[in-house]
Each structure stands twice: as structure tokens, then as C-alpha cells.
Amino acid sequence: MQRILALLLCVAGPLAADPPRIVADIAPVHSLVAMVTEGVTEPELLIPANASAHDLALKPSQARALTRADLVVWVGPELSPGLGRALDATAERTLALLRVPGTQLYPARDAALFGDMGLSGHVEDAHAGHDHSHDGIDPHAWLDPVNAVMWLTALAETLAELDPEHAAAYRDNAVRAVARLSVMTARMDDQLEPARHSGLIAFHDAFQYFEARFGLSMVGAITPSDGSDPGPARLSALRDAARDGAVVCAFAEPQFNAGLLEAVTQEAGLPVATLDPMGANLTVGSDLYEALLMQMSGAVTDCISMGVSQAGSGE
């Protein structure tokens, strides 16, 4: 009987290896990974979309997920310093998307009012050498869909190396996803064209990449890109800008308390909408990234339309 079983195993050949376990840090990154792994495996999301990644303190279940992972795909320590320290201790293989060659990077903006800061052509490239410093980089680079296109290809190649058995599937999925995002970007470009000359205020400076890609005009933000608490002088400068009439709309985020934003905008009577860079109200999965960008595009155009209408009526 043992000889028969051995013969059957030889005829059947070696058992197929399990697909790799992949952990993605935030929901938009998880979505991009899921596009590439569709039909092969499902990545695990580490940080819920309604939580801030800036001040992450790992739960035991999250630490275990990192330990079990064959690959961790994350934005980089610029977004989550705490996750960076945990990965140094637990994960063997990681892909930091801010380090992918060709990624366009912007410096973090510290001032309350931006002016030309950060959108004056000061763009860095992640391909600028292994010793290139990422200190002071705005980490919200997933909000530029051209960066996402670069990352899809990098993800497919990383997974093909890790799991050669499914290399063709990863690469085919990435090609389809790139085409899908290219169509989405063109659609957004048309939708946002009327919004390009209207001043905006954000609660959190998370939207620089979105602004730069689609030509929007963010005047300032309550908190810097790292989510740190604002001081009185910062709030005063933003309140003055809102009163001056150059701003037509302000944006809250579901991950942050909107009270400070209301204190800045209430006197000027600015409409306030929600602009969510993480997808807190969206279903996690391969469709989230496209839905997130289209949701943001619609929120901007709707809020600006409301603000312009109020200004025209003298409200």
C-alpha cells in the first residue's frame, strides 16, 4: 500500500505551493495590491481606513500579521514611523512604495498658508539614488494616480519574484489595472477642470499630490501632513484667509475631529465637505482605490459649486 501511495504522488507531481501571505498597511495600498493579486490570493489590511496611520500603535493581532507575512507592502516610515520600527523587528520582506523608482515625491509643507510652496516644480524622484534622503517628504503619494500606476508594475514584479508560479497572473492583472486607472485619471481630469481656480482649505495637509496632479489650489491646512496639532498662530492665519474671500470651500476628514476646522471657517460661512484620503466609508478590496479617487473628485466639485453659489448670492 505504501508503494502505491508513493507511486501516485510521483505521478501527480509536487503539490502546488501556497500563495504568499501579503499584508498592506492602508486601505488604498491594500486595494492596489488586491488588483495585482486578483485570482491568486487576497492581501490582509493592517490599519483600518477610519484610523490615522501617523500615530499607529500596533495591537497584538497586527504584530502577529506582520510576523506571518511573506511580504509587507507599505507607504513608508514617512507615513507610519511606528510601523517602520515594527517592521525592522518582525518582517523579512517589505516593499516601501515611496522608494519605488519613478515615484514623484513632494516635500512636506509646514506653513499654514501654502502660496506656491510645494507646487512650484519641486518634485523629487524616488529613483534619485539609494542614498537619497526622504526626510521631510509628504507621504500621501497614493493620491496621485500616476504614482499608483508605477506601483502596480513594481508590485507585479515583486510578487513574480516571490511567487514565480503565478508570475503571469500578477503581470496580467497589473496591465489591466494600469489601463483602468488611466481611464479613471482622464475622467477625473475633465471633471475637475472647472475647479482649478478656486481656493480650498483642508483640515489635514494630505492632498498635495491630488492638487498637483489635477491643478487644484489648496490655500492651507489646519494640521501639517504629519497630523501634528496646530498652534494659535496657524489657526489665526487660516481664519484670516477664510475671511478674505479667496477660499470657497473647506474639507474635513473622517479620521480627525472637525472642531478646529469649524472654528476657522464658521465666521466666513464656508461650506464644509468631507475629503477622505483613506476610504473610511468604502468597501475594502480591489475596487476601493478607484472609488476613493472618484469620490474625492466629486466631493471637490460639489463643494466648490456650493461655495461659488453662496458667494454669488451674498450669503
Where exactly does CATH 3.40.50.1980 map onto the chain?
18-105+125-188, 194-313
> 194-313, what's its fold?
Rossmann fold (3.40.50)
Single out the residue of 77, 55, 209, 69 nearest to residue 133, CA to CA.
77
Task: Average the pLDDT over 129-144 and give the result.
Answer: 71
pLDDT for the residue numbered 300: 95
Polymer length in residues for the chain: 315
SS3 29: helix
Helix ranges, 163-220 (H) = 167-192, 208-214
Q: Give yes or no for residue 12 having a pLDDT over 50.
A: no
Q: What is the dihedral of CA 256, 259, 265, 269, to 10 degrees?
A: 120
Single out the residue of 254, 227, 282 nearest to residue 80, CA to CA.
227
Q: What is the pLDDT of residues 240-279, one digit of tens each?
A: 888 887 788 899 888 777 777 888 888 888 888 899 999 9
Q: Give yes or no for residue 103 having a pLDDT over 50.
A: yes
Tell me the pLDDT of the chain averaged across its residues.
Answer: 85
Q: Give yes or no for residue 285 having a pLDDT over 50.
A: yes
Contacts for 122 with CB less than 8 Å, ≥ 6 apart: 106, 107
C-alpha to C-alpha distance for 103 and 127, rounded to whole angstroms: 7
Q: Give yes or no for residue 10 having a pLDDT over 70.
A: no
Task: Give the burial class of 163: count Cβ atoms within 10 A of its Cβ; 0-12 exposed, 13-18 middle, 19 or more buried.
Answer: buried
Q: Name the class of domain 18-105+125-188.
A: alpha beta
C-alpha to C-alpha distance for 30 and 40, rounded to whole angstroms: 15
- The 22-24 sheet, strands edge to edge: 44-45, 22-24, 71-74, 94-96
Q: Give yes or no for residue 63 having a pLDDT over 60.
A: yes
Task: Give the burial class of 10: count Cβ atoms within 10 A of its Cβ; 0-12 exposed, 13-18 middle, 19 or more buried.
Answer: exposed
Q: What is the pLDDT of residues 137-181, one digit of tens each?
A: 999 999 999 999 999 999 999 999 999 999 999 999 999 999 999
